[in-house]
Amino acid sequence: MRFTHTLGVAFETHLAEARYADVQQDAFSEWRRKVKRKLRHRAPTPALQGLSGPPSPTGGRLFQTAAVEPFWQRIRGHLERENSARLRSVLSEGVEGVLNQLHPGISWRAPYLRVDTATGPEEIELAGEGLLITPSLFATHPLILGADRTHTGVPALAYSISLDPDSASTIWQEEEEDRDASLRDLLGHTRASVLACVRNPKTTSEISRCLHISNPSASKHVGVLRRSGLVSTSRRKGFVLHSLTQLGEAVLG
């Protein structure tokens, strides 16, 4: 028996389609909204039943690109932390203690591991052939997978983990949103908006209208950004234009 943090992005994608099809308000609601925008209301086919293989090369790949890959680094980190916690528990409570704490639908009574799956209770006899145990973010119920479906040569037990609101808000934040939030923390909301506004060169009046701030306020923020080396100011055809420097472009990403 051994523990691993994930069976991979394709496995989680397979389960994520069923989560996406769910309409309840839960820790995945923000994720569904973001995926829906990406897919432009494409309706996925729920893939929980069967788990016969990886997502289809067309629709499944599109769904994986939109729904899982943008968040995968955080999802994997969350699963790694869960797996590490279980490994620490093995040292203090033993394997039997951990098996009985994985999930309310999983219980151990030697030599059988009882698992309440989505299709009903199943039992695994742990008789030395090995078992791979892994957490899953998108699984709605514990799952038992045969050795032929894990690519590891041993059967696997994937148990669903709960997602608290704080973890959810962190996981569903995308890289671009991260960068924008960090920039706002660094510069302040208005100044960060001014910096983004001058991706295309603008006059002070244009910045003012774009951001709904006064001309003196726009001029003040541009001055700070210019002294910081993020914005340059030049005169073109009688207009004073503000634009990003190379450093400003690098900061915006």
Is the pLDDT reported for residue 10 higher than 80? yes
pLDDT digits (tens, 9 = 90+) for 172-190: 876 555 556 666 667 788 8
What pLDDT, on a 0 to 100 scale, did the predictor assign at position 232? 93
Mean per-residue pLDDT for 5-9?
93
127 φ, ψ (degrees, to nearest 5): -115, 30
pLDDT digits (tens, 9 = 90+) for 37-68: 888 744 444 443 444 344 443 457 889 988 99
Closest alpha carbon to 135 in 90, 81, 54, 64: 81
pLDDT digits (tens, 9 = 90+) for 85-119: 999 999 998 988 899 999 999 998 888 889 999 89
Residue 24's Cβ-side half-sphere holds a number of Cα atoms within 13 Å equal to 5
User: Residue 105 in contact with residue 116, Cβ under 8 Å?
Assistant: yes
Q: What is the largest CA-CA distance in the chain?
A: 85
**210 in helix, strand or coil?**
helix
What pLDDT, on a 0 to 100 scale, did the predictor assign at position 3? 93
pTM above 0.85, yes or no: no
What pLDDT, on a 0 to 100 scale, did the predictor assign at position 9? 93
Beta strands in the chain (DSSP E): 2-3, 106-109, 112-117, 120-125, 132-136, 143-145, 156-160, 231-236, 239-244
For the domain covering 175-252, report its CATH number: 1.10.10.10
Residues 74-105 as b or e (16 or more Cβ within 10 Å = b)? bbbebbeebbeebeeeeeeeeeeebbeebbee
Domain boundary assignment for the chain: 2-171, 175-252
Beta strands in 126-189 (DSSP E): 132-136, 143-145, 156-160
